[in-house]
Structure 1
Amino acid sequence: MVSRLGRACATTACAKSTSQPSVAATPANSSARSTPGSRKPEARASKRTAFSTTPTSSPEPIPRKTALDWSPSTNPSARTTPALPRLAAPPSLSAASSKKAIRAASPPVRSSPSSPVISAAKIIAALERHDITHVLGVPDNGSCVLYERLWDHDTIEVILTSREGEAYGLASGLYLGGAHPLVLIQNTGFLEAGDALRGTAYNMGIPLVMLVGYRGYATMAPGAPRVDTAATFFEPTLKAWNIPYTAMHTDDDSGQIDAAFAKAQETSLPTAVLLVAETA
């Protein structure tokens, strides 16, 4: 009884082991039929024949690193970085003497006595006539004296910006809030801030007056040894951007500031006054 059962199990196992190769060898046009729900012999055969049955040798195991191999040149702990000198803290802007502290830290560069200058007092008088509440911009050698006088003014607030383009955005916001701002920058900053001017004051139709220092104007004189492109690019750029402008060469031209305010109101456009000389 036991021997018959053992022979039956062995026969069944042998039939199972030899059944799959016979299916793989069945041709595609075989008359073998599959019952519903069962896999097609042809599909099974094609999948089997797509893979090689030849045993492949297993690759040799790669030795595993237990620690990173730092060379002396790349080992962070082996490098020595010299300590940087400690910078002094900037003066506190909340202190009452902040204006004096900033002026002492960076004294203005004065013009030579022989250089043509424009009176800062004349410019400030024109700004007072038009009720200017804020002056925004970045100081330079030509406008440093004017900024210094404005800094001590009782009713005009000075806002120093990190770049010239920022001045146009802030001035536009101040105007919408009911203030009367003015931008005071140099022509190099004007060229840099073109997109900020376009996207704010120009597109918004704000009658913003700007005083722009004309750096390099003297280099355009005949016989000058070098021409400053900040000057040669300046007026063509103003014209290309459709910015109305006038120029102030001496104190006698202080009325040009009044004309610029009138032009800005007439056109609802930013208008420029070119400061050809430095302020004093």
Structure 2
Amino acid sequence: MQIPPGRDGDKEARDASATIARSSRIIIQRRPNMTEAQQAILSPETVLAEMKKNGVTHVVWLPDSETNFLYLLMKAEPSLTLVAVSREGLAFSTAAGLAAGGKHPIILIQNTGMMEAGDSLRGWGLGLNVPVVMMVGYRGWTRHGVNTDTAATYTERFLNAFGINYYLVESDADAPRISAAFEETKKTKRPVAVLVGDEYHGFH
């Protein structure tokens, strides 16, 4: 709209400029918050990107509803082969066989299943020095340190008892820790865990 000349026109122009400036400041101030909100969750796309980045060839997992969105992405990815197991203990022997054959597996498992499969982890994963990353759903974990689910209470104690290093991942901003876990498996020739502390957003 054209603004007529004169004092009133000048005033309207100044008011319009001030309004635009205020709006611009609001947009600029809000953008970081939007980015923070996007980074506050762990997206399945980010998990898949980390797998591809680190050369994963096979995903060994026990199918469940909690990994639905991630499953759909993995299934559509031609570079990945999904290997379903009927119980968690079989994940470690399967991963050991794949690694022995020159493949690069990853294990998707929940903390409860990992603890149940402790003897298989001991015998196959640690006993054979299998360099595999375990992405562990941290069921019951909260940032407040008050656990209402004992699965969370014993998860880190379990890993410490087995001498397995682990990285906590809560959001997309933590994705580099997944790569760090892969690098550690190469150096140590041992299993390394990635604890997924935001399982609901990341895997559902």
TM-score tier (shorter): 0.7 to 0.9
Mark the structure with the bigger radius of gyration. Answer: 1
Contact 1:143-1:213 within 8 A present in 2 as well: no
- The one of the two structures with greater contact order (alpha-carbon pairs below 8 A, sep at least 6) is 2
Structure 2 CA distance for aligned equivalents of residues 117 and 190 of structure 1: 23
TM-score, with length taken from structure 2: 0.75
Gaps of 5+ in 2: 1-39
For 2:111, which of 187, 209, 213 is the aligned residue?
A: 187
Q: Tell me what 2:141 maps to.
A: 217
Q: Tell me what 2:53 maps to.
A: 129
Where do residues 1-280 of structure 1 align in structure 2 (5 Å cutoff)?
117-218=41-142, 221=144, 227-278=148-199, 279-280=202-203
Deviations 1:259-278 (A, max 9, x none): 00111112111000001112
Q: Give the count of matched residue pairs.
A: 162
Contact 1:142-1:213 within 8 A present in 2 as well: no
Cα root mean square deviation, aligned: 1.6
Paired AA for residue 188 in structure 1: T
3-state SS of 1:128 partner:
helix
Structure 2 CA distance for aligned equivalents of residues 277 and 139 of structure 1: 19
TM superposition shift of 1:141 = 4.5
Structure 2 CA distance for aligned equivalents of residues 171 and 227 of structure 1: 32
Structure 2 CA distance for aligned equivalents of residues 171 and 138 of structure 1: 13
3-state SS of 2:134 partner:
strand
TM superposition shift of 1:221 = 2.9
Deviations 1:20-60 (A, max 9, x none): xxxxxxxxxxxxxxxxxxxxxxxxxxxxxxxxxxxxxxxxx
After TM superposition, the structure 1 stretch with the greater mean CA deviation from structure 2, 116-125 or 190-199, is: 116-125
Higher fraction of helix: 2
Q: What percentage of aligned pairs have identical amino acids?
A: 40
Contact 1:140-1:186 within 8 A present in 2 as well: no
Deviations 1:49-84 (A, max 9, x none): xxxxxxxxxxxxxxxxxxxxxxxxxxxxxxxxxxxx
